Structure 1
């Protein structure tokens, strides 16, 4: 049976196509400035994420190449942040927005933390960029720790789990169990409870079904994740207008893994853009 989860209405904001185009132009300008200074790379990344979501509002199935390009730009910027973090030289060479760029190293950045890492990793998964997944997975966990109180401890278990899975390190099962236990609402204290339960935990649950090769249980878990995503982003009027709710980034990434592994995914939703899931645009231009 094909499950359909209708995305909530985001049309009350600015004209979607024009807004997405304006944001993409802003991203391009910020990218062009990186070769002079990388100090604003975190702003370029956040703007690129906003542009990607704006394109997904205007193009819910990600059928247009502009939506794919905005997704690739986000991935490239996210990965560049961590390439700079690990650099011991004066500059790092990164491909961003169709060009190979030499970006001056900045030293440690407060935004190069576990939360940003997760976003960068999800984007690399969605873009099927295995080299970037490897580069991100090789970053020592301790480099991703924020000042005390920024994140619940579960997020570091989660990053450790994903890195261990991709690099085929031992004790994956134990690390995933530790992630699940640390993300329990009775244990985690920093993340708001509704955010934890509706947005942050569902990708962990999906990954649990994926690594267990639970082909029968994955699709129902994905359906639940998208329904929780919708419930969170429609709880009040302010959230319902927030473009961040346009796609479910973590669930999309895990669904991409499941799709590539030929799991049955009888689900249709604009929270899960069809052509990102089905890797339609892979290879359209160098990533």
Structure 2
């Protein structure tokens, strides 16, 4: 039986005009990256917001402009760490259908654990295996050098995904550390509600995936989307485009889908064309 998790109400009256403004702003930031590649942090936030905003009117991500927006966000997120992982010279990155030469930056305030996870999730959604491998070779020490403060479970989660993708040792121990670290009694830096409703659920999905627990995976996915909806339905959060797509659950669902798991959950938070890789490989990325 397929579970259905509807998206929280979101106004659409000015959506097209809002998309146009976001598009223009994103294009301006991207075009300036070859002049100042330290704008990559801002470019990532804006292009990701634009990608999610496309899914307000195109909930299935069935239209080409939506896919292009997701690819652009993925490319920017990849460039964030391609430039941060070296301190000298230039780095060649493809962003928004153009090959660009960006300056190496070394660690920056925006090259933190949350940005790395966003980059991993975007590359997973876009099925970019080479980019995933490159991301998984970024040392966790570089993320710590950003200066941003995170609970240790965030780094354990990064290490879990890196180990899984690269086939490294001690996957179970790293996953246990990530799960245990989300305990409210252990969390000291992150907001407990955010950890419980947005960060822990995809970790539990991954746990069910590596255990080959298909029924448990779908239960965890359903719960992840329900918690996502609950978090983004509050008065403070309901009008933020960030909540339109559940990026982390979507990425882990893509991983499961590619592994042959039946994904028995339908939701606007989980655009079907992204989940089922309908656009992957359609044009060079």
Indicate the residue corresponding to 1:23 in structure 2. 22
Task: For 1:106 and 1:144, locate their aligned partners in 2 and report how far apart those are by CA, in whole Å.
Answer: 13
Tell whether the 8 Å contact from 2:74 to 2:122 is kept in structure 1 after alignment.
yes
Indicate the residue corresponding to 1:3 in structure 2. 3
Task: For 1:21 and 1:286, locate their aligned partners in 2 and report how far apart those are by CA, in whole Å.
Answer: 24
Indicate the residue corresponding to 1:117 in structure 2. 116
Tell whether the 8 Å contact from 1:20 to 1:58 is kept in structure 2 after alignment.
no
Tell whether the 8 Å contact from 1:225 to 1:251 is kept in structure 2 after alignment.
yes
Q: Deviations over 1:116-146 (max 9, x none)?
A: 0000000000000000100000011111115
1:242 maps to 2:240 = yes
Indicate the residue corresponding to 1:270 in structure 2. 268
What number of residue pairs does the alignment pair up?
285
Task: For 1:106 and 1:174, locate their aligned partners in 2 and report how far apart those are by CA, in whole Å.
Answer: 33
Q: 1:163 to 1:21 in 2, by over 3 A?
A: same
> Could you state the TM-score of these two structures normalised by the residue count of structure 1?
0.96
Task: For 1:149 and 1:261, locate their aligned partners in 2 and report how far apart those are by CA, in whole Å.
Answer: 34
Please list every run of 5 or more consecutive structure 1 residues that lacks an aligned counterpart in the other structure.
Answer: none
Please list every run of 5 or more consecutive structure 2 residues that lacks an aligned counterpart in the other structure.
Answer: none
Displacement over 2 Å in runs of 4+: 146-149
> Could you state the TM-score of these two structures normalised by the residue count of structure 2?
0.96
Q: Secondary structure at the match of 1:284?
A: coil
Deviation at 1:149? 7.0
Deviation at 1:3? 1.2
Q: Secondary structure at the match of 1:238?
A: coil
Indicate the residue corresponding to 2:164 in structure 1. 165
Q: Deviations over 1:93-112 (max 9, x none)?
A: 00000111111223321110
Q: Which moved more, 1:14-23 or 1:173-182?
A: 14-23
Indicate the residue corresponding to 1:60 in structure 2. 59
Task: For 2:83 and 2:170, locate their aligned partners in 1 and report how far apart those are by CA, in whole Å.
Answer: 29
Q: 1:156 to 1:130 in 2, by over 3 A?
A: same
Task: For 1:168 and 1:114, locate their aligned partners in 2 and report how far apart those are by CA, in whole Å.
Answer: 21
Indicate the residue corresponding to 2:252 in structure 1. 254
Tell whether the 8 Å contact from 1:149 to 1:190 is kept in structure 2 after alignment.
no
Tell whether the 8 Å contact from 2:107 to 2:145 is kept in structure 1 after alignment.
no
